[in-house]
Chain A
Amino acid sequence: MDILIIFEHSNGKIHRMSWEAVAAGQSLAKDLGLTTAILILGSNVSELAEEASKKNVDEVLVADHPLLERYSSDGYSVALKQIITDESPTYVIMGHTYMVRDFLPRVSVALKKPLLCDLTGYYMENGNSVFTRQLFQGKITSDILPNGEPPYLLTFQSAAFQEDAVVDGSGASVRNIDVNLDKSMIRSQYEEPFQGEVGGVDLTAAELIVTIGRGIGKEENINMVKELGDTLGAQLGASRPVVDAEWLPTAHQVGSSGQTVSPKLYLALGISGAIQHVVGMKGSKNIVAINKDPDAPIFELADYGIIGDIIEIIPKLTEAIKNAKA
């Protein structure tokens, strides 16, 4: 095969971004006239292989090994280096997930092959694919190209491709492949995952959310947003820097490390719109953003935008809402 798409799964469930990776792979295959395969690493994964084989790919590869039952950076790096060397695909595609962040850079070094990561897409130019990715947390875009001979490792940002764009097929063949792993290669022990403190804050069902970003400036200013939230009857969300500074508890964090929300109103105050925040709130029905920077990426997402100083606007907005409700 030419394009090897690697699945990520836990508890028998395939990661949403692995399906997006399939959509990316199918799209590239079509544009470049290439063949595709899905690779599943794990132990006892025949059900997942069956699920994968229903998609329009040329083959499904299964690397079944007891030491791959649970993710480890060492195990995955060693196994993938072997598989990529044996199969010599042109492109290897994965979603830019936290797991992939953890080991794929090592595979790039081990193979001495480029890792084009966190891609937002690609476009065709003179029969070649040019890849795009964000710089400066989304404020600038870049075009990049891999150098040297393939394979090229690619990871795509969340929602760069759509899960529902995946094309079904008529039953791809499944092939088992060998990997050579032994216990001594795995130098780390992974304990059971656990959920962080949620502290009774459930934003997933909230109808109205007012979210505070770093633009609020200092802890003393949090109170004015609390008052706005109370007046509006909205829950409080926060971006990571606000949580990092301990201005609000972690449980309020919206984004890839926090909650994923889809309220009727998402009022983003002093939020720049970095991808890790956006993945948690882009499903909101109505997004209103207030930011002093007209070029802030959040405006690319907002239905309504105000360019202005939130410190000035928030108290007046609270007053005006009080009056409107009276």
Chain B
Amino acid sequence: MKICVLVKQVPGPDSPLLISDDKKWIQEEEIDYAMNESDSYALEEALQIKERLGEGEVVAASLGPDRVQKTIREALAKGADRGIHVKDDYPSTDSYVIAGQFALALKEENFDLILSGLQSDDTGMGQTGLMLGEFLGMSTSTLVMETDISEGKLRVKKELEAGWFQWVSMDLPACITIQSGLNTPRYPSLRGIMGAKKKEIKVMESTPQGELLQSLEKIYVPKKTKLTEMIEGDTDQVVAKLVDVLKRDIKVL
């Protein structure tokens, strides 16, 4: 089983988000990067599928400038076998473009299964994985919460709304996008970290962006419209004031 996982490098949860002067993106120098959260669940699922089957290969692929190799290395340290870096110094925010670049770069590999997180923590479009599946003519599913592969068929548990689920079976090759919480992502071992240095990362230099289907005009801090009553003071003061609010205003004490 030849498995690919798309891992995106995004600003980590505590990274500063300062808007750049041209208002098109955030200031790159200030960002603390991390692997996109749902992608780390996808990576773990890929590694577990390989372990369950007792055979196969897990390839971690990422698109972006040279810094994304750090995220690929992290995947290698956790157990991915090799990496593919689709190089683009100025990656687009249009999922169609990104999926198209991945399709070009990964086509020849003929993967049986491609996994990715269901959406990225930066643009949050939730399109890339499914678009890649469509470009490559694969079966697709999003919101995957469990996987089961036997006899060349894939069965996934899909999350529906409001706490409902559904099992879906599909033919391979398939391209699925993973919802958080389906497993417990592992930490890299020291041996894994050492071993990762020797694993191959193939750099794909020329995958042109082509036409953009949508463009980001500008970004800004959301306008505040709600009048929130802010309770201020030191810890003892805010606690006393809050108890007062609970008693007098909300009347729950």
A190 to B94, CA, bound (A): 30
Contact of B161 among A232, A256, A321 (CB under 8 A): A256
Contact of A165 with B by CB under 8 A = no
> How many A-B pairs with Cβ below 8 Å?
240
**In the bound complex, CA of A214 to CA of B122 (Å):** 18
Interface string of A114-152 (1 = CB under 8 A from B): 111110000000000010001111111111111110000
Asked if B95 is at the interface (CB within 8 A of a chain A CB), the reply is yes
Contact residues of A between 55 and 104, Cβ < 8 Å to B: 73-74, 77, 97-98, 101-103
- In angstroms, Cα B215 to Cα A260, docked, is 34
Once the chains bind, are A308 and B180 in contact (CB under 8 Å)?
A: no
Interface of A is mostly: mixed
Is the pair A257, B159 in contact by a Cβ cutoff of 8 Å? yes
B243 interface neighbour in A134, A286, A312, A321, Cβ under 8 Å: A321
Q: Does A174 contact B (CB under 8 A)?
A: no
Q: Tell whether A144 pairs with B217 under 8 Å between CB atoms, given A117-B127, A193-B166.
A: yes
Measured in the bound complex, the distance between the Cα atoms of B242 and A316 in whole Å is: 11
Contact of B228 with A114 in the complex, beta carbons under 8 Å: no
Taken together as a complex, chains A and B put the C-alpha atoms of A112 and B159 apart, in Å, by 28
Complex Cα distance A110/B131, Å? 9
By a CB distance below 8 angstroms, the chain B residues around A191 are 166-169
Contacts of B223 in A (CB 8 A): 141
A105–B219 CB distance below 8 A: no
- Interface-lining segment among B50-58, B83-91, B105-113, B230-238: B230-238
Residue of A nearest to B253 (CB): A324
Give the dominant DSSP class at B's interface: mixed
Contact among B127, B160, B167 with A98 in the assembled complex (CB-CB below 8 Å): B160
Q: Which residue of A lies closest to B135 (CB)?
A: A109
Q: Is A170 an interface residue (CB 8 A)?
A: no
B165 contacts A by Cβ under 8 Å: yes
Whether A145 contacts B217 by the Cβ 8 Å rule is: yes
Q: Specify which chain A residues have a CB less than 8 angstroms from the CB of B221 in the assembled complex.
A: 140-141, 295
Contact B99 A101 (CB under 8 A): no
Q: How far is the CA of A295 from the CA of B142 in the complex (A)?
A: 31
Q: When the two chains form their complex, are residues A302 and B228 in contact, meaning their CB atoms are under 8 A apart?
A: yes
A73 to B166 alpha-carbon distance, docked (Å): 13
Which residues 298-326 in A have Cβ within 8 Å of B in the complex? Answer: 299-308, 312-313, 316-317, 320-321, 324-325
Which residues on the B side are within 8 Å of A250 (C-beta)?
163
Q: Are B125 and A118 in contact (CB under 8 A)?
A: yes
Q: Tell me the A233-253 residues at the B interface (CB within 8 Å).
A: 240-241, 243-244, 246, 250, 253
Residues of B within 8 A of A (CB): 11, 13, 17, 19, 26, 94-96, 99, 118, 121-127, 130-131, 133-135, 139-143, 158-171, 180-181, 184, 211-226, 228-232, 235-236, 238-240, 242-243, 245-247, 249-250, 252-253
